[in-house]
Amino acid sequence: MAKNKFNQNWLHDHINDPYVKLAQREGYRARAVYKLKEIDEAEKLIKPGQIIVDLGATPGSWSQYVRNKLAGKAGGGILGEIFALDMLPMEPIADVQFLLGDFREQEILDLLETRLLGRKVDLVLSDMAPNLSGIPTADAARMEDIIELAIEFSKAHLKPTGSLLVKCFHGPAYNTVWDRFKSEFKVVSSKKPKASRDKSSEIFILGRGLK
């Protein structure tokens, strides 16, 4: 019964959420797009001509936003390149190169590296989160593991001046993740966008410039 009530409450909040309505109106696949938009507008992360990787991209709202920011090539198309990776299928997005698979697998990394043709990346985005179990220590360990993978990926593929933006949660792993970012990036900051629900412990960490 409690679960049904929770589902009903979530559905009510979701349907009445202004960001859900805005996403529907503007043609974005998820409200999460407005978290990236707010961070990008404050930090000026996304610029034409960049190579950008979106880890855990499905359903694709972040890739949609990036694509819109890179649009403007004469005759259509984009200035730059976007690579989106996920283990779950994603509906195609114009000018976004989607790779279906787990970026922890060498096969997918090899495929990405073939497409990059030796070039380094300007920006790595990760809105990934584990399926939460409700056990704080276990969830924190899983979140830490995902962020560690994103950091290792960035160390291998980012330009020295590149940036990494990841989703994190306030909780047992936060300080460890923060310290890990400080050890790898010259400038580190945390962001809590307005589109991030008040009751959510979600927070984003941005690292700029590899050490």
Cβ atoms within 10 Å, residue 138 = 13
Annotated catalytic residue 192? no
pTM reported for the whole predicted model: 0.91
Per-position b or e across 80-104, b if 16+ CB within 10 A of its CB: bbbbbbbeeebeebebbebbeeebe
Q: What is the mean pLDDT of residues 127-131?
A: 89
Query: Exactly one of 167, 186, 191, 192 is catalytic; which is it?
Result: 167
Q: Which long-range contacts (CB under 8 A, 24 or more apart) does 68-71 make?
A: 69/40, 70/46, 70/95, 71/95
pLDDT of 32 reads: 94
For residue 113, the number of C-alpha atoms closer than 13 Å in the C-beta half-sphere is 11
Structure tokens at 143: 């979140």
Segment among 80-89, 129-138, 139-148, 181-190 with least mean pLDDT: 129-138
Tens of pLDDT, residue by residue over 131-174, are 888 888 888 899 999 999 999 999 999 999 999 999 999 888 89
Tens of pLDDT, residue by residue over 5-36, are 556 665 666 667 889 999 999 999 999 999 99
pLDDT of 58 reads: 96
pLDDT of 1 reads: 46
Sorted by where each starts, the structural domains of the chain and their CATH numbers stand as 30-210 (3.40.50.150)
Q: Provide the annotated binding site for S-adenosyl-L-methionine.
A: 60, 62, 86, 102, 127
201 confidence band (pLDDT: 50, 70, 90): confident
Cβ atoms within 10 Å, residue 151 = 22
Mean pLDDT over the full length of the chain: 91
Residue with tokens 């360990």: 141
Q: Where are the beta strands (DSSP E) in the chain?
A: 51-55, 81-86, 96-100, 121-126, 158-169, 185-191, 202-210
